[in-house]
Amino acid sequence: MSEVSIDESLQRIIDEIVAPQAATVDAEGAFPRAAIDALGAAGILAVTVPAEYGGGGAGMDVAADVVRRLAQACASTAMVVCMHYSATAMLVAAGHEQAVRAIASGDHLTTLAFSERGSRSHFWAPVSTAAADGDEVVLNAEKSWVTSAHEADSYVWSSTPLAADGPMTLWYVPTDTPGLSIPSTFDGLGLRGNDSCPVTAVDVRIPATDLLGTDGTGLDHALAVVLPWFLLLNASASVGAMQALTAATRDHLAGTQLQHLGQTLAQQLPSRTRLAQMQIQSDRSRTLVEDALAAVAAARPEAVLLVLESKASADQGVAEVSDLAMVACGGAAFRKELAVERRFRDSRAARVMAPTTDALLDFVGRAMCGLPLLGDV
């Protein structure tokens, strides 16, 4: 599929499905199934799958643009797709042909199952287990947050290793595997259509061939493969939200009269100043993400640092921009009609999605000082 036809299909899906359904997805906490099905049918869920497996063969820059544009309309849909592309990258890197061909067909949604009840946001230290039993592996886990938990077809799953040294091993786990259960539904502050639920595994048996990479090297893969995709796509979602918030605020300020003064809100200095701060923050995060994507593509030496910076910056940026929008648009933002309050609620998630902003600031400082990202300093 060419970039032009992706562009046209994506815009049609956003205009006809994602944007019109965003308020309902939020109000009802409903998974955006119609949008995901349409994105699958249009080849957009397969756009990053290499052409040799039947996918679109596109890179991270195209995926980041898809997620950014979805987030302008519906943050929940964008985050489901962000998780799908991040997990797909790992399945491609591991050469799991069955899974990758299924994703290329357009009707297979995947996601990341890293966070656990025991180690919480410290995804680099799973406490769940994997035990060898002949040709099978038995998984036991209490995953704390899995986006698309009920709706995905597969999870990219972390555990402690079978036998090797090292903190982590990764697995491909189809979601219909017996022993998996979802103990609760998602009723969150924001990203309410995400279906981000806990998932429990009790003696879940998968073929030993569903190992991704090698036993004990999961953290290396998580850091080298999954992390750049997740960080840059998550940051792109925040950029899309900032752009939508800034445009909505500009339109409200320009179109709202103070009748007794014969002036618009845009003619009031504090309103314009807030709008300017939003635009600057939005452009700052966007340019950082674009530079990080270029650095990754060119394998520039500072790529790792820029990737880490991108989500830390966008996490804080989207929180700040949504806060400014709530004040700049006043009471109108407090109601539903501008969708500012929805985006304000959605924007609270980025800082606590792992790696959290706290963890990223630590990682950035470590990278600058030549220290390992993880471990004792």
With respect to ligand FAD, which residue has the nearer C-beta, 136 or 358?
Answer: 358
CA 290/CA 250 separation, integer angstroms: 24
Tell whether residue 194 is a contact of ligand FAD (CB under 6 A): yes
With respect to ligand FAD, which residue has the nearer C-beta, 10 or 113?
Answer: 113
Tell whether residue 325 is a contact of ligand FAD (CB under 6 A): no
With respect to ligand FAD, which residue has the nearer C-beta, 319 or 359?
Answer: 359
Q: What single letter denotes the amino acid at residue 242? A: M
Member of 12, 120, 150, 335 binding ligand FAD (CB under 6 A): 120
With respect to ligand FAD, which residue has the nearer C-beta, 146 or 253?
Answer: 146
CA 44/CA 54 separation, integer angstroms: 12
Measured over the CA atoms of residue 262, residue 264, residue 265 and residue 271, the dihedral's sign is negative
Closest approach of ligand FAD to the CB of residue 188, in Å: 6
Of residues 211, 191, 102, the one with CA closest to residue 149: 191
Strands (E), the chain: 110-113, 129-133, 136-146, 154-159, 169-174, 180-181, 197-207, 211-212, 257-258, 263-264
- By three-state DSSP, how is residue 172 classified? strand
Interface with ligand FAD in residues 55-94 (CB under 6 A): 83
Tell whether residue 354 is a contact of ligand FAD (CB under 6 A): yes
Member of 154, 196, 285, 313 binding ligand FAD (CB under 6 A): 196
Tell whether residue 111 is a contact of ligand FAD (CB under 6 A): yes
Which residues lie closer than 8 Å to 230 by C-beta, 6 or more apart?
Answer: 82, 83, 86, 112
Number of residues this chain uses to bind ligand FAD (CB under 6 A): 23
Tell whether residue 115 is a contact of ligand FAD (CB under 6 A): yes
With respect to ligand FAD, which residue has the nearer C-beta, 104 or 353?
Answer: 353
Q: Which residues bind ligand FAD (CB under 6 A)?
A: 83, 111-115, 120-121, 144-147, 188, 191, 194, 196, 349, 352-354, 356, 358-359
